[in-house]
Structures are given as C-alpha cells and as structure tokens.
C-alpha cells in the first residue's frame, strides 16, 4: 500500500497564478509526475467537476480540491503552500494551503479512513500553523502523517501538531452528560454528508463536535461518507433533543429521526459557523413546539439503524424498487390516458404510422386510417390526432422502463450503485425488451432478478482485488460479472418457471367474474385502507399498477378493473374522514377538522396518506371504519366492471375510466359507509363535548 503523500507530492512557495483552476491543474500534474496518476487529464476533469459543484475553499486560508476519479488507482494527497494565495471561494479570503485529494473511483477503505482523519485535522489551527512554518517538504510529509496517525511527530518544535490527531467522535469525557432532568443540557445528534464523501463530510463532523464540546453538550455525529458510516444507535437518537443535518445530498434512512426538532444546512456551514448551529439546535431542543421537525411521527423511527431485522430489510429492499418504479408507471399511464382523450382509443393502433408519416405542422389525414379508423379524435382535429400519437409513444416508452426500474432499484437497495446496471438488465430480460423470444416473467421475474443481481453484486464487491483493479470494480468488474452470473441463472434456471407462474396468475385473473372478482375487490380495498401508504397499501398498488402497464391497450382486461378497485379504495379514507368532520364536527379536535378540509382534495387526488393524521390520533376507531368503507368500494367497483387505464390521478382521470357512472357510485357509497362507520365508532365512549374543546 503506497503512502498517501511523499516528498515529491509537496510544493512550497508555489506560484501558479491567481486562477484556482490553474492551481488544480498544476497539482494534478504533480500527481502525474510522481507516477501516481493513470490519467492526469481525467483527474483534472473530475477535480474541476467537483469544484463546479461547490467551492472547496475553507476558513483559515485552506483549499481542498478533491474528487473520486478513474484517473488514479491509489488514493493520493498532494500539498502546496501557495505564494501568492489563491481564491478558492472561502468567505474570509484566499487560500495559502492547498490539498489535492484524489481517491480512486472504486474506493479503498483503509486509505479513505486516513483521508477522513486528515479532513478532521484541517479544522485545527495548530495543525495548519505547523504546515505554514514547516522548513522543507519532508517536514510537511511528517506533519501530515502524524495527523493521519501513521508516523511520529517530526520534531519537538512541532509538538503542537499532535493536536491534529483525530478527535473522538463524541464530546470530551468531562462534558456534562445529558440526563433528561430539568436544567440538564440536551444531547444532540447530527448527520454530515457531501457529494463525494471525502473531505467536507468529516470536517463538518469535527467542527460540530468541537463546537458542542465548547458549549458543554453531548453530540454524536454520523458521517455518511466514502469510508463508510456507522449508523447512530436507536437509543442515541431517541435521547437526543434535536438533530442537525449538514448535508449536500439526501440523508440515508432519514425516517429514523422522524419528529425530532432539526437544524438543516449545507455541509460547509458547520465548518464556517458550527457554534451558531449548536446554539440553534439547543434552542430548538428547549422549545420543540416552535421548531421545524423532521417529517413523520416519532413512532415511525422505531427500530432504528443497526437493528434492522430480516423482515424490515426485505420490506426496505422491495419498497425501494417500488418507489422508483411508480413514477414510470404513473407517467406512462397518464400519458397514454391523455393520448386516448386526444386521439381516441384507436390511436393505439396507428400511433407508429402517424408519427412516421406526419408532423404537427403536416398533420395526418384521418380518413387514411381504417380497421379501426380514427373516429374518436377530439374535435375531429388532425392536430389532436398527432398530439395523441406523440403522447401515446411517450407513454409506451415510459411503460417499457417500469419493470427494469423495479429490478434495478431492488438491486440498488442491496448492493448500492454497482447493482443498478445488472438489475436493469435483469428487468429488461424478464420483459424481453429486445424481442429475442426469451420467457417473459413480468414483475415477479423483476423482483427475483433484482434480488439475485443485488446479492451477487454485493458478494462480488467483497472480493479482495489487487490495487490496480480496485478502480475498475464499480464501473466494470461488478456489473460485468453480476450480469453474466445473474443473467445465466435467470435464462437457464428461473426464467421459464417464473413465466409459467405469471401465466397461471394471468389466467386466474382472466377467469375471475361474479363473486370471486368481488371478493378480490374487497381484499384489495382492505389492504389499501389498512396502513394508508404503508407496505400492504404499496403491495396492493404495485400489483394493480404492474397489471395496468401490461393491459392499458385492452378493451376489457381484468387488470384494468383491479386498478379501478385499488384507486377507488385508496381515495375513500381521506374523503370519508373529511365527510365525517362535516357531519359530526364535535367528534374531532380542531386540528383534525382542519385536516378534514384538506382531505377532500387529497382523497380526490388518490393520496391515501391524507387519512394518516386521523388514524394516528385514534387508530382503534378510525382504521376499522375506513377499512370498511374501502372494502365496500373495492367490491362495488369489481361488481360493476369499472376499469381505469391510468395508474394514478383519482377523480382527475375520469377520461381514462370505463363505466364512469359505476366509478362515481362506488366512490360515493364507500365514502358514506366509511364516514358512518367512523362516526359510529368514535361515538362509543366519547361525547361530543369531550372533543369539542380539545
């Protein structure tokens, strides 16, 4: 393992002009001249790209241009003492100390951990002052290695550099503990993360820890960086009075902090002003009622990170795939529905010909199309026919990706980014996206293929590889071998059995009629209302959405009826509760009545989550009531053969509904039943006066 920095990677008194890009280019050249870059221009390009994301100048005359890049095989650190100083975008002026940090694209856990220690040291004035006073390149290398903990201090006169050693990840032992008693300082938790996860992530953490120690408050910081992250314990999060998010990217598992007062900022703010952030967090902890909070309820955070059961892990993996799939389904379904509104259902038979032979300014001749003809174009307009064909094409393209997206992001949830490409390939394989005649196993095959790709990619990522191959792992080795192994298993072993299972499921749906279809509608209605956006709700919705994606062009497909039952059942809970607050307002608190006003629109838009505030306040009486209403709606929808070609939209996609009257009747009856049931249950053991003053 090469040293991160050597004397030939150090320059003192460097004069490279006043342009920070020239400084970065010159430092990349030093890395190349030292034989540490496989592609200097790639290193320069990646460092420029990171600099364009946000400036890397820091308070105290420091600059840390950095990147992950395929231009190096080993993590490398170059240092320059600039004379004259160069502006890297820091608020307090130009930088005279510049570090170029180059990490290989494939990562190296040991070296990346050392880089995090260096990043923490950069916020310590004693360390940076020692670098300014160093007499030669060897002394700079010794100081940096001392900060990394891989070498002794260079000389007695630089003993102050020992302060650069990595700080503990919690407050000093003599910091007052958080006891939860009146007058005791609240403990805090924080998450820091930047796009590359190399420097700012850890510098922000160090700055927050130092500021908390100064304030006499306990803090624990989770650094979500390239060197990995140790998630905060659930008990630690539960004890904390507030959370600080200092991030330029999304917070992983943000739901762990649901309900906590929060301070949010970019990752650079703590480096500039950590004291103010700690003070702000303590102020919010002392007065949580007036503080902004992490979305969700505190109960949502149960079973925090580090305690994930196999069941919870399975749910997380599947829900990740579903959440990324839904936009493809929703966009595709709505586009096709609008195309039918503009061009009539017949546009599905002629969209390709219309797009090939016409333009918006040279619209198609409607009379030229027959068997069937374009007889239902809006206003009989050729322009509407062209727009309908264009939207139909866009919708079909979106639909073509929803099964690959499901598989790809299931693999991503297991193996992170290296799993995405092989997961998408498995999704394309099970839908025969290239038309080779391989067995089509639909969304069941996507789930199996995505899990398989994710597990194999995760396994390959654990292989011990020589240093020259580490940079190739995420971009070539993992995707290549995962695709080969998972693909052959799907083609040779699993493809046909899963395709057979899908055929049996489809045949079963096609044979459903009468009582059996009504029972299915009731079950789907119960699932949609039980957890209002939770796992059961998502399972029912995913089942329906995957079906409508394959059957949107059919005239009487059972999948369209299932979609209608699911959508209508999901609309009922918010609308039923809104109606209940109007009929018997005394049974509801003032905040609930306000939520009821929003419930009309949320329900009409098919946003079942609008019922959650009511259910959270009184689950034993609200949930059974809305489940009854949704079950009635689901059964009625199936009984009246209602169909919907759009996977989302609620009342706003009536143009995509088969049997609009039945759609409205099922919705109205279920809403009334749900409202009556909730009112009846809430009336038991509670008078109107009990709640009217709440």
Give the residue numbers annotated as catalytic, written as ranges: 66, 194
Q: What letter does residue 233 receive in the DSSP assignment?
A: P
104 Cβ contact list (under 8 Å, min separation 6): 68, 69, 70, 72, 73, 74, 75, 470, 471
Query: What are the distances in angstroms from CA 572 to CA 525, 561, 590?
Result: 9, 17, 22
Contacts of 454 (CB under 8 A, 6+ apart): 317, 410, 411, 412, 413, 414, 415, 419, 423
- What are the φ and ψ backbone dihedral angles of 583, each rounded to 5 degrees? -70, -45
What is the 3-state composition of the chain as percent helix, strand, coil, each rounded to the nearest 5? 60, 10, 30
Is residue 366 within 8 A of residue 377, CB to CB? The reply is yes
Residue 74 in 3-state DSSP?
coil
How far apart, in Å, do the first and last CA atoms of the chain sit? 67
Going by C-alpha positions, the residue among 636, 609, 448 that lies closest to residue 524 is: 636
Residue with tokens 């206003």: 379
Question: Please, what is the Cα angle at 266 between 264 and 270, to 5 degrees?
Answer: 85
In whole angstroms, give the CA distance from residue 293 to residue 412.
29
DSSP, residue by residue, 310-358: HHHHHHHHHHHHHHHHHHHHHHHHHHHHHHHHHH-TTHHHHHHHHHHH-
Structure tokens at 16: 């490279």
- Report the Cα 683 to chain-centroid distance in Å: 41
Both tokens of 325, joined, read 């799939």
349: left (phi over 0), alpha (psi -120 to 50) or beta: alpha
| Residue whose tokens read 């391989």 | 438
Nearest Cα neighbor of 222 from 210, 212, 236 is: 236
Q: Show the CA angle centred on residue 348, arms to residues 336 and 645, nearest 5°.
A: 40
Helices then strands, each counted (H, E), the chain: 25, 12
- d(CA 467, CA 74) in angstroms, rounded, equals 7
- The helix/strand/coil state of 449 is helix
Burial 312-345 (b: 16+ CB within 10 A, else e): eeebebbbbbbebbbebbbbbbbbbbbbbbbbbe
For 504, the token pair is: 């049996």
Per DSSP, 611 falls in state G
Rounded to 5 degrees, what angle do the CA atoms 418, 424, 427 make?
A: 140
Of 542, 227, 286, nearest to 406 by C-alpha is 542
Cα separation, 76 vs 31, in Å, equals 8
571, 604 in Cβ contact below 8 A? yes
CB 668 within 8 A of CB 640: no
């Amino acid at each position: 393992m090469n040293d991160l920095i050597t004397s030939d990677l150090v320059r003192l008194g460097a004069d490279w002009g006043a342009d920070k890009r020239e400084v970065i280019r010159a430092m990349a050249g030093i890395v190349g001249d030292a034989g540490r870059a496989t592609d200097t221009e790639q290193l320069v390009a990646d460092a420029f790209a990171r600099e364009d994301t946000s400036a890397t100048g820091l308070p105290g005359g420091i600059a840390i241009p950095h990147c992950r890049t395929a231009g190096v095989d080993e993590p490398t650190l170059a240092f320059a003492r600039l004379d004259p100083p160069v502006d890297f975008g820091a608020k307090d002026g130009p930088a005279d100390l510049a570090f170029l940090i180059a990490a290989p694209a494939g990562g190296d856990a040991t070296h990346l951990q050392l880089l995090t220690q260096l990043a923490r040291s950069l916020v310590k004035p004693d360390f940076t002052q020692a670098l300014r006073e160093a007499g030669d390149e060897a002394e700079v290398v010794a100081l940096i290695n001392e900060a990394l903990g891989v070498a002794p201090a260079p000389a007695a006169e630089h003993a102050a550099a020992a302060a650069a050693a990595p700080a503990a990840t919690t407050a000093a032992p003599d910091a007052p503990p958080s006891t939860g008693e009146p007058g005791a300082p609240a403990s805090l938790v924080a998450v820091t993360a930047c796009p590359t996860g190399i420097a700012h992530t850890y510098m922000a953490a160090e700055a927050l820890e130092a500021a908390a120690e100064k304030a006499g408050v306990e803090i624990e910081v989770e650094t979500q960086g390239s060197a990995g992250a140790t998630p905060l314990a659930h008990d630690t999060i539960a004890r904390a009075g507030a959370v600080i998010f200092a991030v330029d990217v999304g917070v992983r598992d943000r739901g762990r902090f649901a309900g906590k007062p929060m301070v949010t900022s970019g990752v650079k703010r703590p480096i500039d002003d950590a004291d103010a952030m700690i003070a702000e967090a303590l102020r919010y902890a002392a007065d949580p009622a007036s503080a902004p909070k992490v979305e969700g309820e505190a109960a949502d955070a149960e079973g925090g990170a580090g305690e994930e059961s196999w069941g919870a892990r399975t749910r997380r993996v599947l829900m990740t795939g579903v959440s990324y799939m839904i936009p493809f389904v929703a966009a595709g379904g709505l586009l096709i529905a609008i195309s039918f509104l503009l061009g009539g259902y017949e546009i599905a038979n002629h969209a390709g010909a219309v797009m090939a032979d016409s333009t918006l300014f040279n619209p198609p001749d409607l009379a030229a199309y027959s068997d069937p003809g374009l007889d239902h174009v809006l206003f009989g307009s050729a322009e509407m026919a062209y727009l309908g064909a264009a939207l139909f094409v866009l919708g079909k393209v979106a639909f073509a990706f929803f099964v690959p997206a499901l598989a790809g992001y299931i693999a991503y949830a297991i193996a992170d980014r290296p799993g995405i490409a092989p997961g998408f390939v498995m999704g394309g394989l099970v839908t025969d996206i290239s038309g080779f005649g391989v067995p089509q196993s639909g969304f069941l095959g996507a789930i199996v293929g995505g899990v398989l790709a994710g597990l194999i990619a995760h396994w390959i990522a654990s292989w011990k590889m020589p240093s020259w191959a580490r940079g190739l792992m995420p971009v070539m080795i993992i995707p290549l071998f995962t695709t080969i192994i998972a693909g052959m298993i799907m083609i040779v072993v699993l493809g046909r059995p899963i395709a057979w299972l899908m055929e049996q499921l489809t045949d079963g749906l096609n044979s459903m009629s009468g009582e059996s279809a009504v029972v299915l509608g009731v079950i789907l209605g119960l699932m949609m209302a039980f957890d209002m956006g939770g796992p059961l709700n998502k399972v029912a919705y995913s089942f329906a959405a995957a079906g409508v994606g394959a059957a949107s062009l059919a005239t009487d497909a059972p999948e369209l009826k299932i979609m209608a039952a699911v959508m209508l059942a999901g609309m009922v809970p918010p609308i039923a509760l809104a109606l209940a607050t109007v009929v018997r307002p005394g049974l509801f608190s003032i905040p609930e009545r306000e939520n009821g006003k929003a419930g009309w629109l949320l329900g009409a838009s098919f946003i079942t989550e609008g019922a959650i505030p009511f259910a959270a306040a009184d689950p034993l009486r609200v949930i059974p009531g809305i489940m009854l209403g949704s079950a009635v709606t689901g059964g009625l929808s199936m009984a009246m053969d209602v169909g919907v070609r759009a996977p989302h939209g609620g009342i706003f996609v009536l143009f995509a509904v088969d049997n609009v009257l039945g759609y409205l009747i099922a919705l109205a009856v279920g809403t009334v039943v749900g409202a009556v049931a909730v009112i009846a249950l809430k009336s038991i053991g509670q008078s109107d006066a009990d709640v009217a003053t709440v």
